[in-house]
Amino acid sequence: MNLKKFREDDIETKFLDLLKTYNFDTVCPDQDYLNVLCRNDKVLLHTGWNKMPLEEPGFDYTTLKLLHYNSFEKPWHYDHVRYGDKFWEESAGSPFYEDLLKIRNSVDENHIKKGKQGAAALLEKALYLAEQDEGTFKKTLAL
């Protein structure tokens, strides 16, 4: 993000105004509102710079630059998370490595249960929102 440009364009005020005016029900409100506000002033990067841990047939994994663990499955919480080996390989030299190991070792059954419930609720909400004809950014703002 170009924070200098965000300040020049007063994105914070516009974000809050949009949120107060419409208050859409979304899955990722921070990202969704920022995407609307910046829709005409953005640079699209190769997907390797924002790759989520999802299977994507045809994706050239040699272009992977940044992993975005934006959902419930995070390698510092669970084993066998896609690209988890890359995460641990890269984090091994960081000053946060020991803290990450402590977090990983503290995950219990309750945490796992809550994660599964959260992931199921997120999917249910996304499916629900995809079926809506009204009250969406696309319909209301004619994007």
**Residue 11's pLDDT band (boundaries 50, 70, 90)?**
very high
Instruction: Please answer whether residues 82 and 55 qualify as being in contact, where contact means their C-beta atoms are separated by less than 8 angstroms.
Output: yes
pLDDT score, position 143: 53
**Residue 14's pLDDT band (boundaries 50, 70, 90)?**
very high
Where is 114: in which H helix or E strand? helix 109-130
Q: For the chain, give every domain's residue range.
A: 3-140
Looking at residues 36-49, what average pLDDT do you find?
A: 86
Question: How far is the C-alpha of 10 from the C-alpha of 51, rounded, in Å?
Answer: 28
pLDDT score, position 28: 82
Beta-bridged to residue 67, according to DSSP, are 51
Tens of pLDDT, residue by residue over 45-87, are 888 888 888 888 888 888 888 888 888 889 999 988 888 998 9
> In 20-134, which ranges are E strands?
none
- Other C-beta atoms closer than 10 Å to the C-beta of 63 total 11
Token pair belonging to 25: 């029900």
**Cα-to-chain-centroid distance, residue 141:** 23
Instruction: Please answer whether residues 76 and 67 qualify as being in contact, where contact means their C-beta atoms are separated by less than 8 angstroms.
Output: no
Rounded to two decimals, the pTM is 0.68
Q: Identify the residue whose tokens are 């703002």.
A: 141
pLDDT score, position 51: 84
Residue 113 has pLDDT above 90, yes or no: yes
Where is 16: in which H helix or E strand? helix 11-22
pLDDT score, position 94: 95
**Residue 138's pLDDT band (boundaries 50, 70, 90)?**
low
pLDDT score, position 142: 63
